[in-house]
Structure 1
Amino acid sequence: MLEIQGLQAGYGDSQVLFGLDLSIEAGQVATLLGRNGMGKSTLLRCLVGWLAPGGGRIRLAGQDITGWSADRVARAGLAVVPEGRQIFPNLTVREQLLAFAANRHEASEPWTLERVYALFPRLKERQQNMGNELSGGEQQMLAIGRALMTNPRLLILDEATEGLAPLIREEIWRCLRQLRDSGQTILVVDKYVQRLIQLADRHTILERGRVAWSGSSEQLDADHGLWQRYLGV
């Protein structure tokens, strides 16, 4: 579903990514791990079309999307739940979901308003509320629902549980498990390693713009030295 080969990127004279390789198979849940400043955000910016790579290739479902604009990448089937949610304050929940509704790749069981409401019943209760009237947890549910309404081939979640109350955080993990079980291909950036081990198939750790380690949940769970070496503060 996603293949990254030799990706290089940076800002001006400051290079951040150095020949990075990463791949995700269709239906897999993968994670991107690493301390702050190791290149995770830069990689995501390249994927979604917010930053043009300085070298290398990005392929989505076999199609070369390297250097495409963000709107073109979105139409190709990549959806992102951004850090900070970035919902529209002056649109209702229902309006925001319908504004993103599309099934460009003819999914056999597409995401609809009713399906999103079934995943997040709270959004149905709040469907006539404006974005700025929602709690942080409700805004996060809306951001995920909005991305799903595009019926993406690849769903990226950037710090989707950051700053949420424990009960709401559990709701987001439940949602991700349900999406995984439905066969949705997902790339997750988050800091809760133990929860990610329970959720994901593969993990990639970045260190100074390079892949420091890649492996399965079983391998990551068995080597807590990796956590201390690459993820500890």
Structure 2
Amino acid sequence: MAEGSLLLEVEAIETCYGLSQVLFGMSLKVRAGEMVALMGRNGMGKTTTIRSIMGLTPARAGQIRLGGKEVRGMPPFRIAQLGIGLVPEGRQIFPNLTVHENLVAASANRLGGANPWTIDRIHALFPRLAERRANMGNQLSGGEQQMLAIGRALMTNPRLLILDEATEGLAPLIRVEIWNCLSMLKAQGQSVLVIDKNVEHLTRIADRHFIIERGRAVWSGTSEQLIAEPDLQHKYLGI
């Protein structure tokens, strides 16, 4: 949906951890209803880009706009309230809350969506969470925790869903389930920014891709363009 209105605009951000600079003018864009992939080898700045967008590791320069509103410098909770749902690397669900409590803890419809996410809709998306609703977060498998992390983010009814390492470390069958879920969300018009290493699946469902190398975007284009450039994949993605 390249014709959609601009939802997220990251422009020339620079981010450091202490004295160590990680991002050097990183830029990317996500339009409404679009699924965008952020790709690159480990240590190139993918997670730092996400942390900068969320205000968790604030960018020291550049612009980050959500729906045209500048959010750089805002506290993370405020950025989340403006409509970003994060599925962080490592999932970070609440281990001492039940599946049900994890889902309702973050539930909100601040933007007044017409068909908001509910427990029933999450259970329909991930039937396994319905079966495990009374289990504590730390009693779930890695795949179930990832489903719960996605469900928890959706319960905030976000304008933009961000997934950092969507399928890393998951069993093959669970990975398929997560990709099916993302395809379904895209079909429903959910805007998504996703980090993952599975180029085959990403080129199948994402509209556009940004490749990051040493803290800056070195290439962006459509799935068709990425598939047509295997040398690019080899150079920047190690494939």
| TM-score interval, normalised by the smaller of the two chains | over 0.9
Give TM-score scaled by structure 1 length.
Answer: 0.98
Per-residue deviation at 1:110? 0.6
* Mapped contact 1:2–1:24 kept (Cα < 8 A): yes
In 1, distance between residues paired with 2:27 and 2:137? 38
Deviation beyond 2 Å, 4+ runs, structure 1: none
Does 2:37 correspond to 1:37? no
After superposition, give the CA deviation of every residue in 1:41-84 in whole Å (9 maximum; x if it has no partner): 11111011101111000001111100211111110111110111
In 2, distance between residues paired with 1:54 and 1:218? 35
* Mapped contact 1:46–1:67 kept (Cα < 8 A): no
Which of 57, 67, 75 is the matching residue for 1:51?
Answer: 57
Letter in 2 for 1:68: M
Which of 141, 145, 158 is the matching residue for 2:164?
Answer: 158
1:183-202 to 2 correspondence within 5 Å? 183-202=189-208
Partner of 2:100: 94
Partner of 2:13: 7
In 1, distance between residues paired with 2:97 and 2:27? 39
In 2, distance between residues paired with 1:138 and 1:5? 35
In 2, distance between residues paired with 1:21 and 1:136? 32
* Mapped contact 1:51–1:67 kept (Cα < 8 A): no
Does 2:142 correspond to 1:130? no
Alignment root-mean-square deviation, CA: 0.9
Does 2:122 correspond to 1:116? yes
Percent of pairs identical after alignment? 60
Per-residue deviation at 1:26? 0.3
In 1, distance between residues paired with 2:195 and 2:128? 24
- Residue ranges of structure 1 left out of the alignment (5+ in a row): none
* Mapped contact 1:49–1:68 kept (Cα < 8 A): yes
In 2, distance between residues paired with 1:212 and 1:45? 20
How many residues matched? 233
Does 2:213 correspond to 1:229? no
Per-residue deviation at 1:142? 0.4
Does 2:70 correspond to 1:61? no
- Residue ranges of structure 2 left out of the alignment (5+ in a row): 1-6
After superposition, give the CA deviation of every residue in 1:10-64 in whole Å (9 maximum; x if it has no partner): 1222221111221110000000001111111111110111011110000011111
Letter in 2 for 1:22: L
1:67-78 to 2 correspondence within 5 Å? 67-78=73-84
In 1, distance between residues paired with 2:23 and 2:38? 14
In 1, distance between residues paired with 2:184 and 2:69? 27
Q: Compare 3-12 and 166-175 and name the one that shifted more.
A: 3-12
After superposition, give the CA deviation of every residue in 1:127-182 in whole Å (9 maximum; x if it has no partner): 01111111111111000000000000110001121111111110000100000000
